[in-house]
Structure 1
Amino acid sequence: MTGPTLALHLRLDGVTDKDGFLDRCARDLRFPHWYGRNWDALADCVTDLSWWAEGREPSGCLLDIQGWPAFRDADPDAAAIAADILADAEAYWATQGRPLVVRYDDGP
């Protein structure tokens, strides 16, 4: 069963590295307890939303990211990997007919 459109907000204020980014994703995006706080786990969580709302995957998702420029400047390598994972998730969800839109406050 498909649920409503999901709007999520990721606030990166004070995030300066990979670990901080992954921790903030867990908190702000309300990832499940099994989230492993690594790049593979991030990819899993953003391409399988069955953990959200007890198995009712949303019909679409907007991920609004604030504070991206400071994170990108502090850890360009981690930001590039995160942006790639999110872009892959957008492409995946586009093929599923339930779009994921990632909106950065200053581009990836």
Structure 2
Amino acid sequence: MTSPVDLPELPELPDGGLPGLFEGTVPPGVYRCDSVGPDVLMQADAANWTGAVIDLSDVTDKAEFMNRCATGLELPGWFGHNWDALADSLTDLSWWGETDGYLLMTAGWPGFEQADPKAAATAVNVFTAAVGYWAVRDAPLSVLLG
């Protein structure tokens, strides 16, 4: 582990879970969850949401986190592999097309959070800002950290 960092307290996905996110009874947000799997993407697709998984298995630093974001989210070529570029990418999801909502999920979050708490805290801040941006638009964004 690197230097001590105050990691943000993040809620677990509330009662109502994924169906609640898709129906609007669970507010958009950044939530911890036990795990994510292909069934989550199928549920998102069935609800006309666009979803993606960022595989953070064995990720120990910001550089690899950015690489995995680029791959998992299929970010456009202009993605600059830094926090500002990630924030810009998450507030311009036009390449994902028309949708009723966006669901970004991570697999392996606890390991990344432990390996690089500073980068994990910054990532949560970027995700939270993007959720706020989309919360006042027609297609909300939620992030599940599993």
Specify the TM-score bucket, using the shorter chain as the normaliser. 0.7 to 0.9
Unmatched runs of 5 consecutive residues or more in structure 2: 1-47
Q: Of 107, 113, 127, which residue of structure 2 is paired with 1:86? A: 127
What does 1:40-55 align with in structure 2 at a 5 Å threshold? 40-52=84-96
**Amino acid across the alignment from 2:85:** A
What does 1:1-108 align with in structure 2 at a 5 Å threshold? 4-52=48-96, 56-105=97-146
Q: Residues of 2 paired with 1:72 and 1:92: CA distance?
A: 24
Q: Secondary structure at the match of 2:122?
A: helix
Unmatched runs of 5 consecutive residues or more in structure 1: none
1:14-66: per-residue Cα shift (whole Å, max 9, x none)? 110000100100011100011000000100111111133xxx34321111111
Q: Secondary structure at the match of 2:67?
A: helix
**Amino acid across the alignment from 2:121:** A
Query: Could you say which structure has the larger radius of gyration?
Result: 2
The structure whose residues are more often strand, as a share, is 1
Root-mean-square deviation (CA, aligned residues, Å) is 1.1
| Offset, 1:7 | 1.0
Question: Structure 1 segments of 4 or more deviating over 3 A?
Answer: none
Equivalent residues of 1:5, 1:59 under 8 A apart: yes
